[in-house]
Amino acid sequence: MKVLVTGGAGYIGTELANWLVSNAAVERVIIYDNLSRMNYNLFLGLKLQKHPKLSFVKGELLDSRSLRKVLKDVDVVFHLAAKVTTPFAASDSHAYEQVNHWGTAELVYAIEESSSVKKFIYTSSSGVYGSTDEAADENTQPNPTTFYAISKFRGEEHVRRLMGKIDTYIFRCGNVYGYSKSMRFDSVINKFVFEANFNKIVTIQGDGKQSRSFIHIDLLSKALNNLLSSKLSSGTYNLVERSIKVFDIVDVLKQLIPELEFIFINQHLKMHELNVKPNPTVNSTLGISNPKSLKEELREFLSRFSF
């Protein structure tokens, strides 16, 4: 099969590309990315070096002509491209709307005109649920309150038009963390690990009692690859591994780095809660099983830094 990955040079895309080129059922992988994050790490390293299956196209989601051209003979589309930030960030509304909402709309329009695409996968965000006191599941009414979350949810509305026409999946992913050569350091665990390793000081917003739902980058990229051969029905699914309180992350880092200090900012403020229930059926079907504890994962993460 021929696979297109939009945003394939990003954090998730780089790891997914590694899985796809090793998948015997995949004949060709096209990475479509505008390189707006100036992240060129996908192009470096031995694992993907000069790989015969892999090709790159620099392009924009809003370039309908380019999208139609790159979709020629493509069987599966992974739509990862987005302007990404932490779930509760609320700035730069125009950029989110243009890329995450209307960029997704343009891609869906192009796929509706395509005769080859049989499967479409959209990585949305658990942020579409907004702040939740109780753990959300797929039946929970979305309540996006930030520009980022609203734009991702509007993207979902366009993607739903494809359901019933082709195999279509919307995955509301938890906060992604873990080592990749195409790192994002704005997500909470990645940021904490970086600060702990180099500064020995971690900055905590609020009282640290707020919790978030997470999924490791290795598990997420593996799950997306496994979807190509799974029997999972089309639909909207949560893709999370576990929920962790912010202060518990710091506590584990403290065990690994005894000299670690932490500073609270606005400790009197109660921060947003965002808890999402793992879907055991989806996790089992897509192979999301993590035998490692958070401590083991963070120890391994810390070992990947140069100094």
- Residue pLDDT, tens place only, 91-103: 667 888 999 999 9
Query: Please, which pLDDT band fits residue 89 given cuts at 50, 70 and 90?
Result: low
DSSP conformational letter for 282? H
- φ and ψ at 144, to 5 degrees? -65, 135
Residue with tokens 């999946």: 169
Domain locations along the chain: 2-177+215-240, 188-212+243-276+290-303
Is the confidence at residue 294, as pLDDT, over 90?
yes
pLDDT at 49: 67
Taking domain 188-212+243-276+290-303, whether its CATH number is 3.90.25 is answered by yes
pLDDT at 290: 81
Q: What is the mean pLDDT of the chain?
A: 92
Greater pLDDT, 44 or 171 = 171
- Residue pLDDT, tens place only, 128-137: 999 887 899 9
Fold observed for domain 2-177+215-240: Rossmann fold (3.40.50)
pTM for this prediction: 0.94
* Cα torsion angle, 119, 123, 129, 134, sign: positive
